[in-house]
Amino acid sequence: MAERPSGSLTSRHFRSEMVPLPQRPADAVLLRNIFVSVAPGARAAMQGPTHRPQLLPGEVIPSSVVAEVVAAPPGGPEPGSIVGGAAGWQEYSVVPTSDIWPLERIGELSQHLGLLGRNGLTAYFGVREVAQLRAGETVVVSGAAGGVGHLAGQLARIAGARVVGITGSDEKNEVLRRRLGYPAVVNRRSPSFADDLRAACPADVDVYFDTVGGLILESVLPLLARHGRVVCCGVTAQYDLDRPPPAPAGLALQLIAKSLRMQGFLVADYLPEWGAAQRELYALQRSGELTALEEIRDGLDSAPGALIEMMAGGNIGQFTVRLAPDPAGWPS
């Protein structure tokens, strides 16, 4: 990060540096990164503290990575093994051994940052565990064409729910209809958004899967049924703001009057269950019930542009940056 953003991201907020490899502490691993993720969480860290400390100018943009282990302490992962990790936008990273995890040898390697990575797991546990979705319910998903949202809506559909997707363009809505099986979609940039949303939800909304926050949350709250649930996994609407917006008007009153449940979560809360969830997600994809959308760009210098584009609403599905070829023998 070259400087802390104020308002929308631009290229001036980033710079590229070539530096020597740092010394590896005794309890750390040296990784050669193969794929790095482009995710809204990076923008959040540039803005302020989240589940990680606020990023400072000169620090590396944080990222989930898929990487090859180059060196590790005795008893650690074998050099040459492929792992997932919490690292950054770097060709090589030195991270504590506690910040890496083994990968299930399933699927395409890039998918371990999307469908089989934190995006897919966030969608899975948000729908299955936090929402506690039941067949026949109505689910509204914001950011429904994003890395998490496009998977969450499909998982809700697979569970028997009627799904309404909210995106920022008619083009994205067409993708949700044609490729992902959404029965109803709404463009949040339409002048008639509030009326369109109400028309798409003729019955009350049972679950709101919220990746955006802000004014969209305020629009959905009045439509929630008694004992409705709000699943909070992102607030992308406020990442470009210098200060967080106030809470939606009457939020506490609506929570009380309708006995609503509003819950945030981190995918790390469910770490012991990751393996089983990944195998189920992979099986759903293999059967054709679930479609994972991703766009891969090449070279580390493409990462800032991808994040700028994502924050402007330009992505559909997962954005991933490839730094090196897939290792030989990885299953697909």
For residue range 2-35, list pLDDT tens digits in order: 999 988 899 999 999 999 998 899 999 999 999 9
The DSSP secondary structure of 256-292, one letter per residue, reads HHTT-EEEE--GGGGGGGHHHHHHHHHHHHHHTS---
pLDDT tens sequence across 281-329: 999 999 999 999 999 999 999 999 999 999 988 889 999 999 999 887 7
Mean pLDDT score, 76-97: 96
Q: For residue 14, give the 3-state DSSP assignment.
A: coil
Asked if 125 and 265 count as a contact pair (C-beta separation under 8 A), the reply is yes
d(CA 64, CA 247): 30
> pLDDT-based confidence at 136, cuts 50/70/90?
very high
> Which is more confidently placed, 214 or 287?
287
* Residue 200: closest CA among 153, 247, 263, 256: 153
Strands 100-102 and 82-88: antiparallel
Res 49: pLDDT: 83
Quick: pLDDT tens for 149-166.
999 999 999 999 999 999
User: Which one-letter DSSP state was computed for residue 237?
Assistant: G
Q: Which residues contact 178 (CB under 8 A, 6 or more apart)?
A: none
Strand partners, 102: 83
Structural domains in the chain, sorted by start: 11-114+292-322 (3.90.180.10), 118-267 (3.40.50.720)
How many Cβ atoms from other residues are within 10 Å of residue 21's Cβ? 12
**Is the distance from CB of 278 to CB of 101 less than 8 angstroms?**
no
Residue 255, phi then psi, degrees to nearest 5: -60, -40
**Identity of residue 222:** P
Which residue in this structure is represented by tokens 């004992």?
A: 227
Contact between 145 and 170 (Cβ < 8 Å): no
Residue 33 DSSP class: E
